[in-house]
Amino acid sequence: MTHSDSSVRERLWPIAVAIGFTALVFFPIVLNRKDSFPLSTYPMFAVPRGNPELVKLVAVTSTGERVSVPPHLLGTNEVLQAKVQLNQAAQKGAKARRRYCETVAARVSRDSSLKWQELELSRSRFEPIGYFENGKKPLTVDVLARCKVGEGTPSRLKVRPMIDRLQNWFFSPVKATRLAVARILILGFCSAYVICGAPCCSNWQRCVV
Amino acid sequence: MLLGVCGLTGVCATLGIRYSWTAPVFATTLLWVTSYRNSWGMIFHTENLFVVHALVLACAPQAGRCLTFGAAPDARDAVGSDYGWPLRVLSIVTVATYFIAGIAKLQHAGLAWVMGHEIRTHIAYDALRKIELGSSHSPLGVALVPHEWVFAPLAMLTLAFELGAPLALLGGRLAVVWCFVCWLFHVNVLLLMLIVFPYPLIGFAYASFFALETPWALLERRFARPNRV
């Protein structure tokens, strides 16, 4: 084997990898596949946006100011999760939307520092360019649900704290010794039951009869 | 053979020796042995609860991490939810057994069960059967059967403590009171029907409701050798 043969072989693997991965990256666009992971055509900037819709939950303060309700009051710290949550709420029926609004209102009312009076779930349509040219106003606003803050909590809302309390109880930490002593008592009893029961009940059938 | 395996693994699991496999083997063989025993003639309801408890403990290998041979010295001071949930499951299982017993009474006899007729009949029949078969019976049960008025309050209390069993999961005094009432119930069963439920009667069935580390520490202090560091 000459020196040049071995160097070709050494280069073969990197070249194969380069071609292989390049082909893979082109794979979605060649086959006209939808967006996926990890192979993608990255269509997020390619699709025309038009006038996008956005579902929002807005709080009205005592002075009439309108404030966006932050994600943590929707039950998540993730903005995108909050967005999905709001979209899901908006797709539901009027009753469910109202209930969702009241759920958040109950959470808001637990924070005494917030002086919000009303919550409003709405779907707004925006013209992205015009938004910055015309004082950040939406094209249209559809109010999907409204509810007062601190106007009483619907009964279903009590379920969540109950579940939380149940979880806290179930997973509350205890000392390792407590479980170990329970083990000694319970399994000790069971073992004694079997061991002491065995000699006098060598024939289990007869023992029972 | 199986009985031997059951007994041996039971001792090992109790002592925490190779707990992660001795406990499951013990629980399984215990289930087999007791199922076999209960397959001939009648079901011994005295065995149900501890078999389920053993199965629960078999699912919690962390129960063998301390108070065992070769355990790390600081293992007993460990605190975590890991050690808590098996105890909660044990408590839930205990409470559930009594709760469903209450539901079953309502299902079979309806609210009329609280009038005491059913329980009176049961006590009478239990004594009758034992007398006819030449076994020991409860003289107190026999003495009370003619007094109908005794049984309505007994039935009411029984149903109340059985259906109220989930309250014990709230812990604190409620749990202590419920465990005590439960224990009294079994004492009552023993006095009126001469039926021994050993597991609840010695109190081990309610172990999961209590802070067992406190009496254990007291015991250790009491029996600790003076020269022990």
Tens digits of residue pLDDT in A35-90: 665 677 666 665 666 778 888 899 988 888 888 888 888 877 667 677 888 888 89
Residue A44: per-residue pLDDT: 65
Residues (pLDDT < 50) of chain B are: 228-229
Is residue A203's pLDDT more than 50? no
> Across the interface, do A170 and B199 touch by the CB < 8 Å criterion?
no
Q: How confident is the model at residue A208 (pLDDT cuts 50, 70, 90)?
A: very low
Tens digits of residue pLDDT in B189-226: 999 998 899 999 999 999 999 999 889 888 888 887 55
pTM (two decimals):
0.62
* Residue A160 distance to chain B (closest CA, Å): 17
A204 touches chain B (CB under 8 A): yes
* Residue A186 distance to chain B (closest CA, Å): 6
Q: Which of B39, B66, B210 best tests the A interface by mutation, with the highest count of A CBs <10 A?
A: B66
Of A169, A178, A187, the CB nearest to B83: A178
Of A188, A207, A209, the CB nearest to B14: A188
Lowest mean pLDDT of A129-138, A146-155, B120-129, name the range: A146-155
Size of interface A-B (CB pairs under 8 A): 153
SS3 A146: strand
Tens digits of residue pLDDT in A163-186: 777 777 788 888 899 999 999 999
SS3 content of chain A, % helix, strand, coil (to 5): 55, 15, 30
To which residue do tokens 């009949």 refer? B121
* Alpha helix segments (H runs only) across chain B: 2-15, 19-37, 45-58, 81-109, 117-132, 139-144, 151-163, 172-193, 198-201, 213-223
To which residue do tokens 């170990």 refer? A180
> Across the interface, do B83 and A171 touch by the CB < 8 Å criterion?
no
> Across the interface, do B213 and A209 touch by the CB < 8 Å criterion?
no
A172 touches chain B (CB under 8 A): yes
Of A170, A185, A190, the CB nearest to B10: A190
Nearest CA in chain A to B8: A191
> Across the interface, do B87 and A174 touch by the CB < 8 Å criterion?
yes
A27 touches chain B (CB under 8 A): no
For the segment A110-125, the average pLDDT, to the nearest whole number, is 86
Residue A83: per-residue pLDDT: 80
Residue A115: per-residue pLDDT: 82
Tens digits of residue pLDDT in A182-200: 999 999 999 999 888 754 5
* Residue A208 distance to chain B (closest CA, Å): 7
**What are the b/e assignments for B124-161, b being 16+ CB within 10 Å?**
eebbeebeeeeeebbebbbebbeeeebbeebbeebbeb
A168 touches chain B (CB under 8 A): no
Q: How confident is the model at residue A207 (pLDDT cuts 50, 70, 90)?
A: very low
Show residues of chain A in contact with B7, CB under 8 Å: 191, 194-195, 198
